[in-house]
Amino acid sequence: MKIMKKLNLTTEWVLDKLSTSWMVTEKGCVLQVNLKDGIMESHLVELALQTMGVNYWFNTIGYPNEAIDEYRFNLEDIKKDCPNLFLKMEKNNNEN
């Protein structure tokens, strides 16, 4: 019997590695996922936000030859579950 390996993903890893881009605005955080190569990344980002209980606004933006899923949420809402990503986003926001 072959034992299958488990893959453990954290919500922080999903938001950090699977998002195409992100920015912090005065209204909160905007995280974007490019759908050019498929929608799995977007589904995992949505699952991560739901798992953390984050309230978010979702929109799909269509461009010629590509589409982008956009998630907007309050940056403070990920602080507890994604401390490293929170600090990275906050630092980037303060530098701009």
Q: What is the pLDDT of residue 69?
A: 92
Residue 63's domain comprises: 11-95
Average pLDDT rounded to a whole number, residues 28-36: 87
Provide the percentage of residues in the chain whose pLDDT is more than 70.
Answer: 98
Whether residue 32 has pLDDT greater than 70: yes
Quote the tokens at residue 52: 């953390």
Q: What is the pLDDT of residue 55?
A: 96
Q: Is residue 5 part of a domain?
A: no
Q: Is residue 3 part of a domain?
A: no
Q: Is residue 6 part of a domain?
A: no
Q: Is residue 35 part of a domain?
A: yes
Whether residue 94 has pLDDT greater than 80: no
Q: Is residue 54 part of a domain?
A: yes
Nearest CA among 52, 62, 59 for reference residue 14 = 52
The confidence band for 38, taking pLDDT boundaries of 50, 70 and 90, is confident
Nearest CA among 87, 68, 78 for reference residue 11 = 78
- What's the farthest any 2 CA atoms get from each other in the chain? 55
- Enter the DSSP assignment of 1: -
- pLDDT tens digits along 3-13: 888 888 999 99
Q: Is residue 88 part of a domain?
A: yes
Structural domain count of the chain = 1
Q: Is residue 91 part of a domain?
A: yes
> Over the chain, what is the mean pLDDT?
90
